[in-house]
Amino acid sequence: MDYADPKKKNNFVGKILMAAILTALCILMLKQSPDFNPPTAFSRHEPGVTHVLVTGGAGYIGSHAALRLLKDSYRVTIVDNLSRGNLGAVRILQELFPEPGRFQFIYADLGDAKVVHKIFSQNAFDAVMHFAAVAYVGESTLDPLKYYHNITSNTLTVLEAMATRGVPTLIYSSTCATYGEPEKMPITEETPQPINPYGKAKKMAEEIILDFHKNSNMSVMILRYFNVIGSDPNGRLGEAPRPELREHGRISGACFDAARGIIPGLKVRGIDYKTADGTCIRDYIDVTDLVDAHVKALEKARPGKVGIYNVGTGRGRSVKEFVEACKTATGVPIKVDFLPRRPGDYAEVYSDPTKIRNELNWTAKYTDLQESLQIAWRWQKSHLNGYGLSVAGGGGGGG
**Would the pLDDT of 236 be above 90?**
yes
Q: Using DSSP, how many helices (H) and how many strands (E) does the chain show?
A: 13, 14
In this prediction, residues 176-186 reach a mean pLDDT of: 73
**Would the pLDDT of 91 be above 90?**
yes
pTM: 0.84
What is the distance between the alpha carbons of residues 283 and 336, in angstroms, rounded to a whole number? 21
What is the distance between the alpha carbons of residues 219 and 172, in angstroms, rounded to a whole number? 11
pLDDT of residue 346: 78
Q: Which domains does the chain have, with CATH numbers?
A: 51-382 (3.40.50.720)
In this prediction, residues 237-247 reach a mean pLDDT of: 77
pLDDT digits (tens, 9 = 90+) for 141-163: 789 899 999 999 999 999 999 99
In this prediction, residues 185-195 reach a mean pLDDT of: 72
Collapse the DSSP code of 177 into the 3-class scheme (helix H, G, I; strand E, B; otherwise coil) and give the result. helix
What is the distance between the alpha carbons of residues 271 and 320, in angstroms, rounded to a whole number? 9
Q: Return the active site residues.
A: 198
Rg (CA), the chain: 25
What is the distance between the alpha carbons of residues 16 and 324, in angstroms, rounded to a whole number? 80
pLDDT digits (tens, 9 = 90+) for 328-382: 999 999 999 989 987 767 788 899 999 999 999 999 999 999 999 999 999 999 9
